[in-house]
Structure 1
Amino acid sequence: MALALCLLFDTEGDRTIRRLWQNLAAHGVTTPLTHTHGRHRPHLSIAVLRNWDLDAVRDALVRLPAGEPVPLHFQGVLAFPRGRISLATAVGADVARRQEAAAQALLATGAELHKYYLPGHWIPHVSVVTRGNAQLLPEIAVMLMDVLPIALDASAAALIDSSTGQAWPLPTLP
């Protein structure tokens, strides 16, 4: 179980990623559409917590300066351990600073931040395959590369419980 601080896409961006998930699923690939509870939303996680106090986390995030919407440009594919395949995006220095500020604010609440989201360790990505394997990787990579590049805007933020899909929208982007 984890709690993720997610940047959520505008309507067009959400639709774009969902179509990509549907296309991959139609080819027998496990995507967030069918993974676990099936309530996953397209997003860019900027922090993932292993242990937390929800009220303290929400209070800390509300105190961060409000950020502008984030334009994202996905130009590559990443393969992570345990069959996770994602779209890679570059982010500007401002977004990296915002991620670091959010991570520091969350750590200050006593929450345990997943090691890959500690300042300096974050790799910005959007998950598209949740259970790939080495045999499928070339086919998946071709399907993804055929639709790249993709430009999306992150225009909202929420805390999302990965075990249930329950979301707590935030009033601003951190």
Structure 2
Amino acid sequence: MGIQSVELLLDEQGDAAIRAQWQALLDAGLPSSGSHPAPSNRPHITLTARQRIDPARENVVQRLLSALPLPIQIGSPTIFGRPHRSMVLVRTVVPTAALLRFQLAVHLALGDSPDVSRVCLPDAWTPHVTLARLPAAQISAAITVIAGMDCPPVNAVRLRRWDSDAAREWML
């Protein structure tokens, strides 16, 4: 079974800044999230991921749209994962009180569920934007490539739903 998620999308400036980092990794011959050709592949911040999201709850989430735009500060690069597996290179997102409240509100709007990804539970969530999945041996090179490619303050401006089983997105 796939994953369904609710994600924040960045404004044009934030989207362009992350895409520039994706492209820099590609230009260096490294793995990058930019290598996926699907139109739905875009920089985002996953607020929640679970096996199933009840479509009837989407209208409750839509009520949260009035909080957008939400100021976002993209932070430094970091790594998720374990060295013997594929690592994930991300840009952290500064967890402001407003962002944490918004993520909690989305979680509550969708209802508690045992199939929520444990890393998306409000007390465990680390906001980030994924740059690449790569072997541990390429981490140093990847960080060198994106060093100095800081992101200006941006805004999260839209919410989207993603269904990995159907490989489909839609805006809320």
What TM-score bracket applies, with the shorter chain setting the length? 0.7 to 0.9
Describe how 1:92-171 pairs up with structure 2 within 5 A.
Answer: 92-108=96-112, 110=113, 112-130=115-133, 132-162=134-164, 165-170=167-172
CA–CA separation in structure 2 for the residues paired with 1:2 and 1:119: 18
**Displacement over 4 Å in runs of 4+:** 35-38
What corresponds to 1:34 in structure 2? 35
CA–CA separation in structure 1 for the residues paired with 2:166 and 2:26: 21
CA–CA separation in structure 2 for the residues paired with 1:128 and 1:65: 26
Identical pairs, percent = 24
**Structure 2: gaps spanning 5 or more residues:** none
Deviation at 1:36, TM superposition (A): 8.5
**Structure 1: gaps spanning 5 or more residues:** none
Does structure 2 conserve the Cα–Cα contact (< 8 Å) formed by 1:75 and 1:150?
no
Amino acid in structure 2 at the alignment position of 1:123: T
Change in CA separation of 1:40 and 1:65 when aligned onto 2, cut-off 3 Å: closer
Q: Taking structure 1 as the reference length, what is the TM-score of the superposition?
A: 0.84
Q: Taking structure 2 as the reference length, what is the TM-score of the superposition?
A: 0.85
* Cα-Cα RMSD: 2.2
Corresponding position: 1:86 with 2:90: yes
What corresponds to 1:23 in structure 2? 24
Between the two proteins, the alignment pairs up a number of residues equal to 167
CA–CA separation in structure 2 for the residues paired with 1:111 and 1:27: 41
TM-superposition CA deviations, 1:147-166 (whole Å, max 9, x none): 12543221111112245542
SS in 1 for 2:75: strand
98-107 vs 28-37, which moves further: 28-37
Deviation at 1:9, TM superposition (A): 1.1
